[in-house]
């Protein structure tokens, strides 16, 4: 359940929490969760960091965040990192300017496109009510929905906006096709009828939790910029490196399954926020990590935009890392530092920026400030030209990996770092 923390969060507001976790007295597996009195817990299985609406002059044609919605249904498609026997959702109006009312909400298993698998669509309630109104700056967490949620599966979350929303809190870079209807409530419809528009952005939905057995490990939060957001990965394929890491856990030894959620924002920076690339990492850190259900670990990969956009001094970036590390430890979380990846040939590369990247990577590797280090630089660089990304891993812009590169990043992570 995502709560809003006043520390390190700009414009924070306390979440509107309308439902709590179910409690059971004994320990069970995910398959047994909620039966025979066995203990369960909530973990985040999918997340997206909420962002303010992008000004109209900067938006893509399929970005409706600035215009908002009115008497329309949004169908967000999201990918589960682990499954469970119950589900709940969190809706965010963190950056809204007015209260937003959702007249009906449903969740089901996606059958591809806007279609829903027959018989799987379930009504979502908030405090036992069919609708919910969320004030500006707040969030709402739904009641638990009893349904079987498989791991590594697309869910369709349908949100009917029964009145004008104003500018929408959203997540800009979904790498996923989502759907928006014409006028009307299509939340409980499993068909494609009514969904007239596509959008590669997620609206209002910022977290999906599942109820699992106590044997499931704590949630791993991948926190970063566009490389964590999966920019340039195949749309709809769920080939971001956090997705690939979640798949490794599911394929690994029993008892070592962890949810992995993605809190990357394309263009995001450690120290400075912007209207296009979200508030800074410092401003969103606790809300996007410690506040997530079941959060236990953080993988931090951010800083290349601080170098590329503004050549921020190394000492200031490191000081920013140290503040994030202190905040994570104060919240009882382990935080792993990932080295910054090669970027020679990208649009904002410079020799001075490369010197900064190397200095920051040296600090990440040698300072001992993190609970562990993941050397993504070593994974992605070309051994014959280490300032550049290996061509086989390069999406073509010399900054972002392709699907193969993202898989290599996930494959290089030592799973022993997350042993309990």
202 near 170, Cβ under 8 Å? yes
331 near 289, Cβ under 8 Å? yes
207, 237, 255: which is the final residue of a domain? 207
159, 174, 207: which is the final residue of a domain? 207
Q: Which residue has the higher pLDDT, 23 or 238?
A: 238
131 and 45 fall within a common domain: yes
163 pLDDT more than 70:
yes
12 pLDDT more than 90:
no
- Here the tokens at position 350 are 């410079």
368 and 403 fall within a common domain: yes
96 and 195 fall within a common domain: yes
In order of 39, 365, 377, 389, the CA distances from 383 in angstroms are: 49, 19, 11, 9
Is residue 323 classed exposed, middle or buried when 0-12, 13-18 and 19+ CB atoms within 10 A define those classes? Answer: middle
- What mean pLDDT is reported for the chain? 92
Q: Kindly state whether residue 32 falls inside one of the protein's structural domains.
A: yes
278 and 140 fall within a common domain: no
403 and 350 fall within a common domain: yes
Calculate mean pLDDT across residues 370-398: 98
Q: Kindly state whether residue 221 falls inside one of the protein's structural domains.
A: yes
282 and 346 fall within a common domain: yes
117 and 20 fall within a common domain: yes
Calculate mean pLDDT across residues 387-393: 98
180 and 234 fall within a common domain: no
Q: Kindly state whether residue 1 falls inside one of the protein's structural domains.
A: no
Q: How far apart are CA 8 and CA 319, in angstroms?
A: 14
- Count of domains forming the chain: 2
Calculate mean pLDDT across residues 198-216: 97
Q: What is the pLDDT of residues 246-292, one digit of tens each?
A: 999 999 877 789 999 999 999 999 999 999 999 999 999 999 999 99
What is the number of other CB atoms lying within 10 angstroms of the CB of residue 77? 19
373 pLDDT more than 80:
yes
72 and 155 fall within a common domain: yes
How does DSSP assign 128-175, residue by residue?
TBS-EEE-TT-EEEPPPB---B-SS-EEEEEEEE-S---SPPEES--S
Report DSSP state, residue 274: B
232 and 358 fall within a common domain: yes
pLDDT for 233:
98
CA 26, 32, 35, 36: dihedral to nearest 10 degrees?
-50
Strand 38-47 with 295-301, pairing: unpaired
174, 207, 240: which is the final residue of a domain? 207
Strand partners of residue 267? none
Range in 3-7, 214-218, 344-348 with the lowest mean pLDDT: 3-7
225 and 363 fall within a common domain: yes
pLDDT for 11:
33
Q: How far apart are CA 366 and CA 382, in angstroms?
A: 22
Q: How far apart are CA 420 and CA 406, in angstroms?
A: 26
Residues 6+ apart with CB under 8 A from 200: 60, 62, 173, 174, 175, 176, 177, 178, 235
Q: What is the pLDDT of residues 29-69, one digit of tens each?
A: 455 565 555 689 999 999 999 999 999 999 899 999 999 99
Q: Kindly state whether residue 225 falls inside one of the protein's structural domains.
A: yes
2 pLDDT more than 80:
no
**Domain residue limits at 155:** 16-207
Q: Any idea which residue has 């972002």 for tokens?
A: 400
203 and 269 fall within a common domain: no
Calculate mean pLDDT across residues 219-244: 98
CATH of the domain at 233: 3.40.50.1110
Q: Kindly state whether residue 143 falls inside one of the protein's structural domains.
A: yes
Q: Kindly state whether residue 358 falls inside one of the protein's structural domains.
A: yes
Calculate mean pLDDT across residues 91-107: 98
Q: Kindly state whether residue 8 falls inside one of the protein's structural domains.
A: no
Q: Kindly state whether residue 249 falls inside one of the protein's structural domains.
A: yes
Q: What is the pTM of this model?
A: 0.92
334 pLDDT more than 70:
yes
96 near 65, Cβ under 8 Å? no
């Amino acid at each position: 359940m995502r709560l809003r923390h006043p520390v390190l969060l700009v414009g924070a507001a306390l979440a509107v929490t309308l439902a709590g976790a179910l409690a059971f007295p004994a320990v069970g597996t995910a398959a047994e969760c909620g039966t025979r009195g066995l203990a369960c817990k909530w973990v985040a299985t999918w997340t997206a960091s909420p962002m303010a609406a992008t000004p109209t002059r900067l938006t893509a044609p399929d970005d409706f965040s600035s215009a908002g919605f009115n008497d329309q249904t949004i169908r967000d498609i999201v990918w589960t990192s682990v499954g469970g026997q119950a589900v709940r959702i969190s809706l965010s109006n963190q950056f809204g300017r007015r209260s937003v009312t959702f007249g009906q909400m449903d969740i089901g298993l996606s059958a591809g496109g806007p279609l829903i698998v027959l018989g799987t669509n379930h009504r979502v309630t908030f405090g036992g009510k069919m609708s919910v109104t969320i004030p500006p700056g707040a969030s709402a967490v739904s009641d638990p929905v009893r349904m079987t949620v498989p791991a590594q599966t697309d869910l369709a979350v349908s949100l009917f906006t029964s009145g004008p929303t104003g500018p929408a809190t959203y997540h800009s870079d979904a790498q996923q096709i989502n759907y928006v209807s014409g006028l009307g409530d299509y939340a409980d419809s499993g068909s494609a009828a009514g969904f007239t528009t596509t959008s590669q952005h997620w609206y209002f939905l910022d977290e999906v939790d599942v109820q699992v057995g106590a044997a499931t490990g704590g949630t791993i939060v991948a926190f970063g910029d566009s490389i964590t957001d999966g920019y340039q990965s195949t749309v709809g394929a769920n080939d971001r490196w956090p997705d690939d890491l979640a798949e490794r856990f599911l394929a690994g030894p029993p008892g070592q399954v962890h949810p992995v959620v993605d809190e990357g924002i394309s263009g995001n920076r450690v120290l400075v926020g912007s209207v296009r690339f979200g508030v800074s990492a410092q401003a969103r850190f606790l809300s996007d990590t410690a506040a997530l259900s079941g959060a236990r670990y953080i993988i931090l990969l951010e800083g290349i935009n601080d170098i590329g956009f503004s050549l921020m001094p190394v000492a200031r970036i490191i000081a920013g890392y140290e503040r994030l590390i202190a905040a994570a430890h104060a919240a009882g979380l382990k935080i792993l530092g990932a080295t910054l990846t090669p970027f020679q040939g990208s649009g904002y590369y410079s020799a001075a920026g490369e010197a900064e990247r190397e200095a920051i990577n040296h600090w990440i590797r040698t300072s001992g400030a993190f609970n562990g280090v993941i050397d993504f630089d070593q994974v992605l660089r070309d051994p014959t030209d280490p300032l550049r990304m290996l061509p086989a891993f390069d999406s073509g812009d010399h900054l972002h990996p392709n699907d193969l590169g993202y898989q290599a990043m996930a494959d290089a992570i030592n799973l022993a770092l997350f042993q309990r």
